[in-house]
C-alpha cells in the first residue's frame, strides 16, 4: 500500500466536493492510502501573500509543520488543488532559498509550539502521484468502462506546471500528464494549446471583465476544437469555467455550453462507478449530454433556472455573435 499525507484544501469540502467524492472512489483500486493532515488550515490562496508576507508564509508553514510531525511512514504531502499545491511547495522552497524567511517563519511557528525544517517534506500534486508513482499502466488496468468516443480537452491550468520549483512536470507550457491519464481511460483526447492558460483565478471576484475574457478564450477554443467537455485538475479552474460560464456568456452575448469535470470523476466513470457516486451533476454546466455520447446516464437534478434573455426591449449591441443559434440548450 502506498501511503501519503493528504492536504485536501478548503475547496474540497465545498465548491469542489465532487473532486473529493470522486477521488475517494479511485484510492482503493489504485492501492493508495491518504492520511489527512490533522487540523490543517487554509493555505491563504492567492490572497494572504499580497497582504502580509511573514503571516502568509507562517499560515502555510503551519500545515507543513503539522505534516512533518505526523509520521505515517512517508514524507510526501499530496494536494489535489493547484493553488494549495503551489503555496505549500512555494513555502517549502523559499524557506530554503532565503534562510532569513525560514528563520522568521519558524520564529512565528514557535509561538504555537511548532517548527518546520524546510526540505523535510516532498509536496506533490495528485496527478503527479497518479502518473509517476501509480503509473499509467496501473490506471489502464482498472478501466472497465473505457471512455471511447468522449471528446475531451485536458485543462491543466497555470499554477500546477508553473513555476515548478522541483522540476516535476514534462513541460511548463504544454505538459502532457493529464492527456496521458485521459488517454489511459480510453477518452478521445483533443490537443489543447491553451491547457496551461489561466482561468482568471480570483479575478472573477474583483475584475470580472478580465476574468470573463480568459474564460471565454478557454471555452471558445475547446468548443472550436470539437470538445464535448473539458477535464481539470484544479478546483479554481473548475469553479471559474463552470460557475461563471453563464455570466461570461451573458457578458459576451455568446451561448457556449462547455461542461468541465474533474479528471477524477472521469477516472471513476472509467473504473465502473456510477455518476452519482462521483458528484457528477453538481456542475452548473451539465455534463449530461456529453456523457450520453458514451452511454452514461446522469440522473436529472433540479437545475436552477437561468435568467431569461430578453428578446424584446431596447436593441443592445452584441459583442460576440459567431456561435449564436448553434448550440442546443440542455433541458
Partner 1 sequence: MPQMTDERVRAGMTREEDLSLLHEVSMKTAGVSRLEMCIQCGTCGGSCPVALDMDHTPRMLFAMLRAGMREEVLRSNTPWICVSCYHCVVRCPQEVHIADVMYTLKGMAIHAKLYSDSTAPHFSQTFVDMVESFGRSYEFGLASRHYLRHFPLRLPGMMPMGLGMITKGRMAMTPKRIKQMDQLTAILDHAKTLELTS
Site for partner 1, residues 234 to 263, rule: CB under 8 A: 243-244, 246-247, 250
Contact set for partner 1, span 159-188 (CB under 8 A) = 159, 162-164, 172-173
- How far apart CA 140 and CA 72 sit, in angstroms, is 28
Q: Residue 14 or 141: which CB sits closer to partner 1?
A: 14
- How far apart CA 299 and CA 221 sit, in angstroms, is 29
Q: Residue 164 or 188: which CB sits closer to partner 1?
A: 164
* Size of the residue set binding partner 1 (CB under 8 A): 80
- Please pick, from the candidates 5, 23, 49, 219, the single residue that binds partner 1 as defined by CB under 8 A: 49
* 203 near partner 1 (CB under 8 A): yes
* 324 near partner 1 (CB under 8 A): no
* 93 near partner 1 (CB under 8 A): yes
Q: Residue 228 or 286: which CB sits closer to partner 1?
A: 286
Helix, strand, coil percentages in the chain from 3-state DSSP, rounded to 5: 45, 10, 50
Using CB under 8 A, which of the segments 72-80, 92-100, 115-123, 146-154 binds partner 1? 92-100
Work out whether strand 2-6 and strand 76-79 pair parallel, antiparallel, or are unpaired: parallel
Phi and psi at residue 134, in whole multiples of 5°? Answer: -70, -50
* 104 near partner 1 (CB under 8 A): yes
* 158 near partner 1 (CB under 8 A): yes
* 15 near partner 1 (CB under 8 A): yes
* 280 near partner 1 (CB under 8 A): no
* Per-residue binding letters, 54-83, with partner 1 (x by CB under 8 A): xx-xxx--x---------------------
Q: Give the closest residue to 147 by CA, choosing from 294, 297, 296.
A: 294
Phi and psi at residue 11, in whole multiples of 5°? Answer: -60, -30
- How far apart CA 52 and CA 134 sit, in angstroms, is 39
* 98 near partner 1 (CB under 8 A): yes
Q: Residue 156 or 187: which CB sits closer to partner 1?
A: 156
**What 8-state DSSP symbol labels residue 300?**
P
Q: Residue 56 or 229: which CB sits closer to partner 1?
A: 56
Instruction: Count CB neighbours of 203 within 10 A.
Output: 19
For the record, the C-alpha cell of 237 comes out as 479552474
CB 59 within 8 A of CB 29: no
- How far apart CA 154 and CA 225 sit, in angstroms, is 12
- 257 in helix, strand or coil? coil
Contact set for partner 1, span 117-156 (CB under 8 A) = none
Amino acid at each position: 500500500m502506498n501511503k501519503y499525507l493528504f492536504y485536501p484544501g478548503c475547496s474540497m469540502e465545498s465548491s469542489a466536493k465532487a473532486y473529493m467524492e470522486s477521488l475517494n472512489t479511485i484510492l482503493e483500486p489504485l492501492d493508495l492510502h491518504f492520511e489527512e493532515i490533522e487540523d490543517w488550515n487554509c493555505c491563504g490562496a492567492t490572497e494572504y501573500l499580497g497582504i502580509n508576507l511573514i503571516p502568509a508564509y507562517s499560515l502555510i508553514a503551519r500545515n507543513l509543520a503539522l505534516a512533518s510531525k505526523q509520521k505515517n511512514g512517508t514524507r510526501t504531502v499530496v494536494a489535489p488543488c493547484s493553488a494549495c499545491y503551489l503555496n505549500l511547495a512555494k513555502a517549502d522552497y523559499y524557506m530554503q532559498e532565503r534562510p532569513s524567511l525560514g528563520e522568521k517563519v519558524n520564529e512565528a511557528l514557535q509561538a504555537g509550539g511548532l517548527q518546520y525544517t524546510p526540505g523535510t517534506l516532498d509536496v506533490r500534486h495528485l496527478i503527479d502521484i497518479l502518473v509517476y508513482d501509480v503509473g499509467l499502466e496501473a490506471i489502464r488496468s482498472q478501466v472497465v468502462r473505457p471512455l471511447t468516443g468522449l471528446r475531451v480537452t485536458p485543462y491543466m491550468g497555470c499554477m500546477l506546471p508553473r513555476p515548478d520549483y522541483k522540476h516535476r512536470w514534462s513541460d511548463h507550457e504544454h505538459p502532457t500528464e493529464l492527456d496521458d491519464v485521459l488517454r489511459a481511460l480510453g477518452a478521445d483526447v483533443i490537443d489543447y494549446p491553451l491547457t496551461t492558460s489561466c482561468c482568471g483565478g480570483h479575478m472573477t471576484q474583483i475584475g470580472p471583465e478580465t476574468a470573463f475574457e480568459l474564460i471565454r478564450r478557454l471555452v471558445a477554443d475547446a468548443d472550436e476544437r470539437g470538445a464535448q467537455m473539458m477535464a481539470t485538475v484544479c478546483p479554481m479552474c473548475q469553479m471559474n469555467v463552470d460557475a461563471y460560464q453563464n455570466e461570461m456568456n451573458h457578458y459576451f452575448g455568446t451561448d457556449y455550453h462547455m461542461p468541465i469535470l474533474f479528471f477524477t470523476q472521469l477516472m471513476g466513470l472509467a473504473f465502473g462507478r456510477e455518476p452519482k457516486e462521483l458528484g457528477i451533476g453538481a456542475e452548473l454546466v451539465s455534463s449530461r449530454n456529453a456523457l450520453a455520447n458514451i452511454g452514461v446516464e446522469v440522473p436529472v437534478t433540479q437545475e436552477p433556472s437561468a435568467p431569461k434573455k430578453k428578446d424584446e426591449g431596447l436593441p443592445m449591441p452584441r459583442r460576440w455573435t459567431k456561435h449564436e443559434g448553434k448550440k442546443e440548450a440542455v433541458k
